Amino acid sequence: MATIVLFHHVQGLTPGVQAMAAELRAEGHTVHPVDLFAGKLPKDLEAGILLANKVGEDKIQQRVDKLFKNLPDELVYIGTSWGAALAQQCAQQRPGALGAVLLESFVDLDAEWSFGPWPTAVPVQIHGMDNDPFFAREGDLEAAERFVNDQGEGLAQLFTYPGDKHLFTDSSLPSHDPQARALVMERIKKFLADI
């Protein structure tokens, strides 16, 4: 069973993110959801972005580092949207990463501000809607497709779902898509079982 660090999106550690943690725990995994907003739950994406900027990168990094002091190096990182970028950074830069699941976001490895190369032998799944205004229309999907082609199907997998919703994997938000989320969770569980 895996030890997982779960990063929330810009609307905080919502009941939907906590439900994902509970579902993975029910499979026997140890899950550590990180609350980077100290309990605050912004009402929408715009408010979440404002709060993330207000908290600031340094404070967010301090909260992440504090969690890691009590965890082993061998971790799986899962994150949604803004949290997926944090999960990706950890998977690429922290030693001992066993895998990553990036939901609704992917940072282009060729971007000027990327996190560096993808580490050898660290498997990754990327999930997003094929018409999501952020994931699909801002370049994440195209970058993920290039990455998967470069890495090969064994190490990197990309799954797209029909629709234009962002944060569709959060069961507590209006953007939730139950059918797509169920398929995402099925694929994540298989991914974790294979690690």
155: left (phi over 0), alpha (psi -120 to 50) or beta: alpha
- In the chain, the number of structural domains is 1
Report the alpha-carbon distance of residue 177 to residue 158 in Å, rounded: 18
Among the listed residues 69, 62, 107, 67, the one whose alpha carbon sits nearest the alpha carbon of residue 89: 107
At 154 the pLDDT is: 76
Here the CATH number for the domain that contains residue 72 is 3.40.50.1820
At 190 the pLDDT is: 97
Task: Note the pTM of the prediction, 2 decimals.
Answer: 0.95
The stretches in the chain having pLDDT less than 50 are: none
The dihedral built from the CA positions of residue 94, 95, 100 and 105, taken in this order, carries a sign that is: positive
Virtual torsion, Cα 34, 157, 152, 32, nearest 10 deg:
20
Please report how many Cα atoms fall inside a 13 Å half-sphere around the Cα of residue 195, on the Cβ side: 27
Which domain does 57 fall in, by range? 3-194
Q: Please list, in sequence order, all residues whose beta carbon lies within 8 angstroms of the beta carbon of residue 105, skipping any fewer than 6 positions away.
A: 79, 80, 81, 82, 84, 85, 88, 128, 134, 135, 140
- What does the block give as tokens for 68? 């890691």
